[in-house]
Amino acid sequence: MFDLLLKNQLSAPKKLKFKNEILARVQGRNSEALNDEINFYKTELLPYFIKLSQQNPVFSVTEQLRLLVGVWTPIWSTISFHESLPKRIQDQSFQIFQHDGYCASVARYIMGKEQSLSDNFQSRLPAYDFMVIQKYGVQNGKWYLQNIDRFQAFTNREIPLTLESVYNWFTDVVNTKVKLNASKGVLPKALKLENIEINHVNGFQKTSLVTSQVFEHLYIDNDLRLVKTQTDASHLPSYTIAVKR
């Protein structure tokens, strides 16, 4: 399989075929333990990452900007932070990139989906919406991300988190809080998480605070991104597949 993938350039139909195959392999995949996902990447997805990275249509990070701006959904990832909170709803997960250098990762988490709870009781529990506001840009020819603030909301789980509601929330907090806090030099405060079940508390708190990381588009086009992310050279890289909304 590896030899076959590495030999020849892909024609447009074959590239589309490989894109569809990698999407099919992660379609409907339930979140597994991080080690399982890393192994899944090595054994199932790596050949596709290798071949598509060789066919990356846009290598220049400055030229990638026109493709990056917009709204994406991460459909598979080895970033442990994505699953630190329980029951992330994939189709209500968003990555928003704006022209002004602000971006956000937003996701809805449904609490109380344990089998021991009745459907009636579960329906009365709120949804938990979590947003990380970031700045992104180019330094020394590489993309970078910097987490600058985090926001949370408990909402009616019967009302879906939509692209419109996410964008309104994002633009509102950027314009009324983030930019104001930045101008005053105010650092983000610790979130009150005592009512939330966290799978990896220390990792969640550390990752959600101010950090910088480099990311690389191994492949990017109008509707698919294969992303390699690394906080620093001493940490193992993470990989994400994202599709355009």
The amino acid present at 243, given as its one-letter code, is: V
Q: Is residue 197 in a domain? A: yes
pTM flag (> 0.85): no
pLDDT tens over the chain, length 245 residues: 444 444 556 788 888 998 999 999 998 876 668 888 999 999 999 999 999 999 999 999 989 999 999 999 999 999 876 556 667 888 899 999 999 999 999 999 887 555 444 455 455 678 889 999 999 998 888 898 888 888 989 888 889 999 999 999 999 999 998 877 776 666 565 555 545 555 544 545 555 554 668 899 999 999 999 999 988 777 889 999 999 98
Q: Is residue 42 in a domain? A: yes
Q: Is residue 1 in a domain? A: no
Q: Is residue 5 in a domain? A: no
Q: Is residue 149 in a domain? A: yes
pLDDT, residue 206, reads: 52
Q: Is residue 145 in a domain? A: yes
Q: Is residue 3 in a domain? A: no
pLDDT, residue 243, reads: 96
Sign of CA dihedral 206, 210, 214, 216: positive
Q: Is residue 227 in a domain? A: yes
Q: How many domains does the chain have?
A: 1
pLDDT, residue 196, reads: 52
Domain span including residue 17: 12-244
